[in-house]
């Protein structure tokens, strides 16, 4: 907005005299340009600003604080709705009626003091100008008020915390990190084609069973938008695919850093749009568009006046923002040009009467939906109250005090004798991503249960189709398990790899001597004993191994010497036949 001198230059001499009297400033007679310049210079003297501030009644000071908190300007319709109208007076009527001696409203009193003015502003260069109330831009910094956008709310109508801690709390977690890791792996292994920017519902249903989160359309939209904005995924040929180098950079860092990157990306994202995901409304694509960052900014700025650690009613927070800045996401205060229908009645939602269904619902969705999913707020099971988590408490500080986790990353993968692989949530996410590429998926992880995968001939063949050789797989498993891969698993992978080699030679069928053990542990003992392992071939399962046909008797002797009784099935049958 414009300066004080330009503002005063638009006034007549009688109005300048009214303002000058309140600032104890003398003006030259009958010279409007000189009078406006002299008055502006005097009003911009810091001592005079402090003095005039001290004379303000509490209600005028609060109204001015609200305006300053809204960055010095507000649509005229909203400011006057709360603080009253500013009537129009010509010079003669001003002299005759002297309204400045008995102002009709808080707004009018501030106007006659020269602290606020009426003007026009444009939200965008191409948009229509709207009437606003503003504080001249060189006067605002001199006013002795340290405020933020919602300091006025804290003083006018504080949002009181709940008196007791609710028993039905739904604590936030960071499972979005785990679900995005899973989605990256799914998109690497499968061709996921987007329709209208989203994964089709039938495909989402199949993916949902592998996720820890809700698996809702909004959950998927958030993951996809953040992944694209962070550059860890891309759309190529209509398919959603990970960008492996960029994905590894994000997957390979500690969980708190991953969460911070998700939150930072969300705050600045324009591809993820909460308004278009609200239940109960149907936005129509037209010439209008909203900036989703404005609604997030409104919530985050409000959190600056909400002390950490306490639970707060969601409805009261939304109502407080509505009273202070109802046009938080509508530049210029435009409540008429957005094409949004009520999903039930199919009627357009316009004007302040629709605020709760559109703007209030946006705030609610952000606070108890998206922010809960990002791990920023805990909520009650009925979504009626919230409190900031340790992550959420750093939001008003621009993420500068982001907490670190005491749980170390890199918990090793466990590979069992039967090929079952377990990856706890604390496993390095890039290692779980790699594990998911070479296995069949068994079950989703949870707070205490690990993700479970299984090595099979089919999964190894799939890995080969993605240019992963058996030596790559074995080296990865050794690294991910800290060198604790059972030898039988390594041999099994090598066997599967050999069986998948294409050749023009004929297939060979032959009889084999098989050793079956009662437990996988006993087989592991044999395969880890050099004296007995030299008589064996490939493992055929968790308790079965091939025995070299020319050394089976030696293996029997070695087993019995080790205290392991052996029953040779079929022994003597040939003698009876002879």
Decide: 366 and 274 in contact? Cβ < 8 Å: yes
Name which residue leads in pLDDT, 464 or 265: 265
Q: Please indicate, yes or no, whether residues 253 and 288 belong to a single structural domain of this protein.
A: yes
pLDDT for res 576: 36
Q: Please indicate, yes or no, whether residues 274 and 422 belong to a single structural domain of this protein.
A: no
Residue 508 lies in a domain: no
Task: Give the pLDDT mean for 538-551.
Answer: 79
Asked if the model's pLDDT at residue 359 lies above 70, the reply is yes
Asked if the model's pLDDT at residue 319 lies above 50, the reply is yes
| Residue span of the structural domain in which 542 resides | 513-577
pLDDT for res 129: 74
Q: Please indicate, yes or no, whether residues 113 and 76 belong to a single structural domain of this protein.
A: yes
Q: Please indicate, yes or no, whether residues 310 and 421 belong to a single structural domain of this protein.
A: no
pLDDT for res 149: 44
Asked if the model's pLDDT at residue 418 lies above 80, the reply is yes
Residue 162 lies in a domain: no
Contacts with 573 (C-beta within 8 Å, 6 or more apart), sequence order:
none
Residue 205 lies in a domain: yes
Q: Please indicate, yes or no, whether residues 118 and 177 belong to a single structural domain of this protein.
A: no
Boundary residue ending a domain (474, 499, 524)? 499
Asked if the model's pLDDT at residue 407 lies above 80, the reply is no
Residue 155 lies in a domain: no
pLDDT for res 82: 81
Q: Please indicate, yes or no, whether residues 42 and 133 belong to a single structural domain of this protein.
A: yes
Residue 338 lies in a domain: yes
283: left (phi over 0), alpha (psi -120 to 50) or beta: beta
Boundary residue ending a domain (147, 177, 198)? 147
Grade residue 569 by pLDDT with cuts at 50, 70 and 90. confident
Grade residue 553 by pLDDT with cuts at 50, 70 and 90. confident
Contacts with 408 (C-beta within 8 Å, 6 or more apart), sequence order:
426
Q: What percent of the chain has pLDDT over 90?
A: 48
For the segment 473-501, what is each residue's pLDDT rounded down to a tens digit?
A: 999 999 999 999 999 999 999 888 776 54
**CA triple 349-355-357, angle to 5 deg:** 65
Distance CA 337, CA 278 (A): 18
- Alpha-carbon dihedral sign for residues 79, 80, 83, 88: positive
Name which residue leads in pLDDT, 401 or 482: 482
Distance CA 441, CA 451 (A): 9
DSSP state of 476: H
Sequence-ordered alpha helix ranges (H) in 426-544: 429-436, 457-465, 470-480, 487-499, 520-527, 530-533
For the segment 65-96, what is each residue's pLDDT rounded down to a tens digit?
A: 888 877 788 888 878 888 899 998 888 898 88
State how far the alpha carbon of 145 is from the alpha carbons of 67, 126, 134, 297, 561, in Å. 11, 34, 16, 21, 90
Decide: 242 and 233 in contact? Cβ < 8 Å: yes
Grade residue 151 by pLDDT with cuts at 50, 70 and 90. very low
Name which residue leads in pLDDT, 273 or 394: 273
pLDDT for res 502: 47
pLDDT for res 578: 30
Q: Please indicate, yes or no, whether residues 420 and 372 belong to a single structural domain of this protein.
A: no
State how far the alpha carbon of 379 is from the alpha carbons of 53, 320, 373, in Å. 41, 19, 10
Asked if the model's pLDDT at residue 154 lies above 50, the reply is no
Decide: 275 and 346 in contact? Cβ < 8 Å: no
pLDDT for res 218: 95
pLDDT for res 123: 56
For the chain, what is the mean pLDDT? 86
Grade residue 127 by pLDDT with cuts at 50, 70 and 90. low
pLDDT for res 286: 75
Q: Give how many domains the chain has, as a whole number.
A: 4
Q: Please indicate, yes or no, whether residues 211 and 334 belong to a single structural domain of this protein.
A: yes
Task: Give the pLDDT mean for 237-257.
Answer: 94
Q: And the tokens for 313?
A: 């009613």
Asked if the model's pLDDT at residue 448 lies above 70, the reply is yes
Grade residue 147 by pLDDT with cuts at 50, 70 and 90. very low
pLDDT for res 125: 59
Distance CA 286, CA 338 (A): 8
Asked if the model's pLDDT at residue 539 lies above 80, the reply is no
Residue 505 lies in a domain: no
Boundary residue ending a domain (448, 465, 499)? 499
Q: Please indicate, yes or no, whether residues 325 and 203 belong to a single structural domain of this protein.
A: yes
Q: Please indicate, yes or no, whether residues 456 and 573 belong to a single structural domain of this protein.
A: no
561: left (phi over 0), alpha (psi -120 to 50) or beta: alpha
Task: Give the pLDDT mean for 262-290.
Answer: 92
Asked if the model's pLDDT at residue 563 lies above 90, the reply is no
Instruction: Say what the pTM is.
Output: 0.66
Residues belonging to the chain: 578
Residue 329 lies in a domain: yes
Q: What are the beta bridge partners of residue 40? A: none
Residue 161 lies in a domain: no
Q: Please indicate, yes or no, whether residues 241 and 264 belong to a single structural domain of this protein.
A: yes
Choose the weakest-confidence range: 150-154, 246-250, 407-411: 150-154
Q: Please indicate, yes or no, whether residues 424 and 391 belong to a single structural domain of this protein.
A: no
Distance CA 313, CA 328 (A): 20
Q: What percent of the chain has pLDDT over 70?
A: 91
């Amino acid at each position: 907005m414009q300066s004080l001198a330009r503002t005063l230059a638009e006034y007549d001499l009688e109005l300048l005299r009214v303002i000058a009297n309140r600032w104890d400033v003398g003006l030259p007679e009958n010279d409007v340009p000189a009078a406006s310049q002299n008055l502006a210079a005097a009003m911009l003297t810091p001592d005079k600003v402090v003095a005039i501030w001290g004379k303000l009644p509490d209600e005028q000071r609060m109204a001015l604080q609200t305006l300053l908190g809204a960055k010095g300007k507000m649509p005229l319709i909203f400011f006057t709705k709360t603080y009253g109208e500013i009537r129009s007076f010509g010079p003669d009527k001003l002299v005759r009626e002297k309204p400045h001696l008995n102002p009709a409203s808080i707004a009018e009193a501030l106007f006659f003091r020269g602290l606020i003015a009426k003007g026009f502003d444009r939200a965008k260069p191409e948009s229509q100008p709207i009437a606003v109330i503003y504080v001249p831009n060189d006067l605002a910094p001199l006013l002795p008020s340290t405020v933020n956008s919602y300091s006025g709310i804290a003083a006018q109508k504080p949002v009181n915390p709940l008196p007791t801690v609710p028993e039905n709390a739904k604590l936030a977690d960071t499972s979005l990190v785990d679900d995005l890791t899973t989605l990256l792996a799914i998109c690497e292994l499968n061709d996921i084609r987007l329709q209208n920017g989203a994964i089709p519902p039938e495909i989402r249903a199949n993916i949902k069973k592998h996720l820890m989160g809700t698996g809702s359309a909004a959950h998927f939209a958030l993951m996809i938008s953040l992944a694209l904005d962070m550059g860890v995924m891309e759309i190529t040929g209509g398919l959603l695919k990970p960008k492996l180098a960029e994905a590894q950079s994000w997957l390979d860092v500690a969980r708190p850093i991953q969460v911070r990157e998700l939150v930072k990306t969300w705050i600045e994202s324009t591809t993820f749009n909460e308004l278009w995901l609200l239940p109960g409304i149907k936005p129509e694509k037209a010439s209008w568009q909203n900036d989703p960052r404005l609604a997030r900014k409104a919530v985050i700025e409000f959190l600056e006046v909400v002390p950490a650690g306490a639970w707060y009613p969601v409805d009261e927070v939304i109502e407080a923002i509505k009273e202070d800045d109802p046009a938080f996401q509508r530049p210029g205060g435009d409540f008429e040009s957005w094409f949004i229908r009520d999903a039930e009645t199919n009627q357009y939602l316009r004007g302040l009467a629709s605020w709760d269904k559109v703007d209030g619902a946006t705030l609610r969705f952000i606070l108890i939906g998206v922010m809960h999913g990002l791990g920023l707020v805990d909520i009650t099971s009925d979504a009626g109250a919230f409190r900031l988590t340790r992550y959420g408490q750093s939001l008003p500080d621009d993420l500068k005090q982001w907490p670190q986790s005491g749980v170390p990353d890199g918990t090793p993968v466990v590979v069992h004798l039967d090929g079952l692989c377990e990856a706890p949530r604390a496993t390095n996410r890039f290692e779980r991503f790699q594990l998911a590429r070479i296995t069949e998926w068994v079950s989703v992880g949870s707070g205490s249960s690990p993700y479970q995968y299984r090595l099979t001939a089919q999964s190894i063949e799939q890995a080969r189709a993605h240019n992963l050789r058996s030596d790559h797989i074995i080296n990865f498993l050794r690294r991910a398990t800290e060198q604790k891969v059972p030898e039988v698993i390594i041999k099994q992978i090598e066997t599967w790899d050999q069986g998948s080699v294409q050749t023009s030679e004929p297939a060979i069928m032959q009889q084999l001597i098989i050793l079956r053990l009662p437990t996988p542990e006993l087989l592991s003992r044999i395969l880890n004993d050099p004296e007995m392992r030299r008589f064996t071939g490939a493992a055929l399962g968790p308790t079965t191994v091939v025995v070299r046909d020319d050394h089976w008797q030696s293996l029997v002797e070695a087993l019995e010497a080790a205290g392991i009784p052996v029953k040779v099935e079929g022994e003597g049958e040939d003698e009876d036949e002879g």
